[in-house]
Amino acid sequence: MYRKEFYVFDQDRPVSAVIRNYKENDFPELIRIQQESFPPPFSPDLWWNTEQLHNHVTLFPEGALCVEVDGEIAGSMTGLLVDFDFKHPEHTWEEITDNGYIRNHNPDGNTLYVVDISVRPSYRKLGLGKWLLLSMYDVVIHKGLERLLGGGRMPGYYKKANEMTAEQYLEAIVNGELKDPVITFLLRCGRIPVKVIADYLEDKESCNYGALMEWKNPFYTSKS
């Protein structure tokens, strides 16, 4: 099981933080964080329910992380293992995460796939999202997996959709010409874009696009 204690900085003030696996008694708080983190126009149908969270902590508890700041849960990140084949990279969020229920979790999979990451709005920009990502990289290394992978929302795309394609939008972010609240965050956390996927997730702001982004385990050596 995972437990990391450290300090985050609120301006110049160190505040104690812990990243640990989440448990059954954290569920009400985690659901509240989802509601705050994914406000309309995001569909409430996509917020966690108790059954999904129960599956996370029973099927792959190592992939169920939350961050506490001064004893309060401020965010969470969840993953499952899949056997990912780069020859067939097209997928939807619903298919690859079993709609967030992760009943398709494959303990022998080569890839830790991100189901969700969210940080409570009042705790943003403290570096917590990055700490959660770095902690999931620890899990990838610990389990000897090839990579972490996930589809990033691109919630700033709707503002540019009549000017450029989703691919051009991603390219402009990578070139530093544009910033996106999620894609720029993921780039700053060390994730590398692989491709844009259409109809990835029902998400008005992203015009249903997702940017598949990878982090490769630097220690991984192929067994074949």
Ligand X SMILES: CC(C)(COP(=O)(O)OP(=O)(O)OC[C@H]1O[C@@H](n2cnc3c(N)ncnc32)[C@H](O)[C@@H]1OP(=O)(O)O)[C@@H](O)C(=O)NCCC(=O)NCCS
Q: How far apart are CA 214 and CA 133, in angstroms?
A: 12
**Identity of the residue, 118 or 217, whose beta carbon is nearer to ligand X in the bound complex:** 118
The least distance separating ligand X from the CB of residue 136, rounded to whole angstroms, comes to 12
Helix locations, 115-182, DSSP H: 128-142, 166-174
Calculate the alpha carbon distances from 210 to 59, 144, 207 in Å: 26, 27, 9
**Identity of the residue, 208 or 220, whose beta carbon is nearer to ligand X in the bound complex:** 208
**Identity of the residue, 63 or 152, whose beta carbon is nearer to ligand X in the bound complex:** 152
The least distance separating ligand X from the CB of residue 184, rounded to whole angstroms, comes to 4
Tokens of 124: 């943003």
Q: How far apart are CA 35 and CA 43, in angstroms?
A: 10
Rounded to an integer, what is the distance from CA 10 to the centroid of its chain?
23
The least distance separating ligand X from the CB of residue 44, rounded to whole angstroms, comes to 14
The least distance separating ligand X from the CB of residue 91, rounded to whole angstroms, comes to 15
The least distance separating ligand X from the CB of residue 137, rounded to whole angstroms, comes to 13
CA trace torsion 151, 46, 82, 124 (10° rounding): 50
Q: Cβ-count burial of 125 within 10 angstroms (0-12 exposed, 13-18 middle, 19+ buried)?
A: exposed
The DSSP letter of residue 33 is H
Cis peptide before 41 (omega within 30 of 0): yes
**Identity of the residue, 66 or 128, whose beta carbon is nearer to ligand X in the bound complex:** 128
- Interface residues with ligand X (CB under 6 A)? 37-38, 117-119, 124-130, 152-153, 179, 181-182, 184-185, 188
**Identity of the residue, 84 or 185, whose beta carbon is nearer to ligand X in the bound complex:** 185
Residue with smallest beta-carbon separation from ligand X: 129
The least distance separating ligand X from the CB of residue 92, rounded to whole angstroms, comes to 14
Tokens of 34: 């989802």
Radius of gyration, alpha carbons of the chain: 17
**Identity of the residue, 207 or 220, whose beta carbon is nearer to ligand X in the bound complex:** 207
Amino acid identity of residue 190, one-letter, is: G
